[in-house]
Chain A
Amino acid sequence: MTKKRIKVKVNGRSVEKEVEPRTLLVHFLREELSLTGAHIGCETSHCGACTVDVDGKSVKGCTHLAVQCDDSQVLTVEGLAKGGVLHAVQEGFFTQHGLQCGFCTPGMLMRAYRFLQENPDPTEAEVRVGMSGNLCRCTGYQNIVKAVLYAATKLRDSQRVAA
């Protein structure tokens, strides 16, 4: 098979690499770029642990080819915190105990990050629908929902201050 040269912006940094077409995005991130935040869970697009942002949309990195990301912008959990300060969704999961083992957390954070841009003022029910592509086997979801609602409030407040 012919390798393809791709140019991707990952967490704001331009990357140029040759990839085998069959390389999945999640493997590219973990093995080529050493960004191991996106986790490989089910590998069948069910669990959402591999969720990252591609061109402003949440996708599952296990069911997306790296070669499809040529000219794309990818954001992973490593790109969420800025200047050592946690993003509101990270702060939410931390303060609201939104994790136990932590395996699903990077995917949860990346989905929560994008979901709150799609819907900045969600109801609890909307959070549950918006996060329904991410599975957690520890928490029972209650604190994950709390964490996302916490982040929603914090993001709205910070926008009000900025305005």
Chain B
Amino acid sequence: MIPPSFEYHAPTSAGEAINLLSVLGSEAKLLAGGHSLLPMMKLRFAQPAHLIDLNRIDSLRGVREQGGQIVIGAMTTESDIISSALLQQKVPLLPEAARQIADPQVRNRGTIGGDIAHGDPANDHPALCLALEATFTLEGPKGQRSVKAENFFHRTYQTDLAEDEILCDIRIPALAPGIGYAYEKLKRKTGDWATAAAAVVLRLKGDRVESVRIALTNLAPTALRAFAAEQALTGNALTHAVLADAASKAMAICDPAEDLRGDREYKTAMAGQMVRRALAVAATRCR
């Protein structure tokens, strides 16, 4: 399988990429890691006349700290996320989750920005960004703007990113010491997308939940934040009854598509299990 013909552009700065996007308009697609776009092009699900390859724009890569926030360039690969000492220390949820994405070769190419901008609810970073209260920096011809993760994902493959904009970076508040976290992902095999997955960021006070954020992967047309489940936990100890209540409230918002990974009932049940597991792991990490 070979992709359809296209013109290839390899800008070396974000400004150059944005100019190209403005000129080429909807005929162009941005190429990040290419592990979603190239397969879609082979199948003719996508047939862009132009590809704008972002891989030679160094300013879009790397992880840095800026005023209590961790700033991750959109073209940072999953492998770079896993090996980032800064992320391991300040946002350990991300390296833990990135290890559960695809396989080593794919992680060498796949980027956090591509994973987010593609708008695929099966991708893992959208839910992680919801749980981590991330903000995205988008840049277009009119300049930069910031969009919170919770406002970014509209529908499957539809995001707040305009046709003439690129995603530049992902900004995540560093997790305070003592905060527990977990990403629990059920998948059939290495490289598969989640049958169901849950991201949890948890703060305990004594044995009671002071605050918690829960987000779900591949259980609806977009990643979901499980607000009702969070409310059911807040102020309570993590007893069996409280966990069961939270899991059922997370399951109530699921709207998964039936596929080879399972029917809607099974996936919804697994969502509840992933929420329970993620909460249990996160609680053991709270100090």
Residues of A near any B CB (own CB < 8 A): 1-2, 4, 20-24, 27, 43-46, 48, 51, 57-60, 63-65, 67-68, 70, 111, 115, 129-130, 132-133
Contacts and interface: CB of A to CB of B under 8 A. Distances in A.
B104 A68 contact: no
Please name the 8 residue pairs, one residue from A and one from B, whose CB atoms are nearest each other, closest first.
A133-B103, A21-B8, A1-B5, A132-B190, A133-B105, A57-B108, A22-B3, A58-B105
B51 interface: yes
Given A22-B6, A24-B2, A57-B108, A64 B190 contact: no
Interface stretch (B34-42, B154-162, B236-244, B250-258): B34-42
Contacts of A2: 7-8
Nearest to B51: A21
Given A63-B35, A63-B38, A22 B104 contact: no
Contact of B39 (A27, A45, A68, A130): A45
10 contacts: A21-B7, A43-B42, A59-B108, A59-B109, A60-B106, A60-B109, A65-B38, A67-B10, A132-B104, A133-B191
B65 interface: no
Contacts of B3: 22, 24
Interface string B69-102: 0000000000100000000000000000000001
B7 A58 contact: no
B53 interface: yes
A59 B8 contact: no
Given A111-B105, A132-B103, A1 B7 contact: yes
A9 B70 CA distance: 36
Nearest to A40: B1
Interface of B: 1-8, 10, 34-35, 38-39, 42, 51, 53, 55, 79, 102-106, 108-109, 190-191
Contacts of B2: 22-24, 27
Nearest to A132: B190
B115 to A, nearest CB: 14
Contacts of B55: 68
B190 A133 contact: yes
Given A21-B7, A22-B3, A43-B1, A64 B191 contact: no
A26 B108 CA distance: 17
Contact of A22 (B5, B35, B39): B5
Contact of A1 (B1, B6, B42): B6
Contacts of A130: 104
Contacts of B4: 22
Contacts of B109: 59-60, 63-64
Given A45-B105, A133-B191, 9 more contacts: A21-B8, A44-B42, A58-B108, A59-B108, A63-B106, A64-B34, A67-B8, A70-B10, A132-B191
A46 B105 contact: no
Contact of B35 (A45, A57, A70): A45
A45 B108 contact: no
Contact of A21 (B6, B34, B79, B190): B6
A123 to B, nearest CB: 16
B17 to A, nearest CB: 15
Contact of A46 (B53, B108, B191): B191
Contacts of A58: 104-105, 108
Contacts of A45: 35, 39, 105-106
A59 B107 CA distance: 9
A48 B108 CA distance: 13
A115 B42 CA distance: 29
Contacts of A60: 105-106, 109
Contact of B8 (A43, A57, A63, A65): A65
A111 B104 contact: yes
A45 B40 CA distance: 12
B258 to A, nearest CB: 22
Nearest to A110: B105
B105 A51 contact: yes
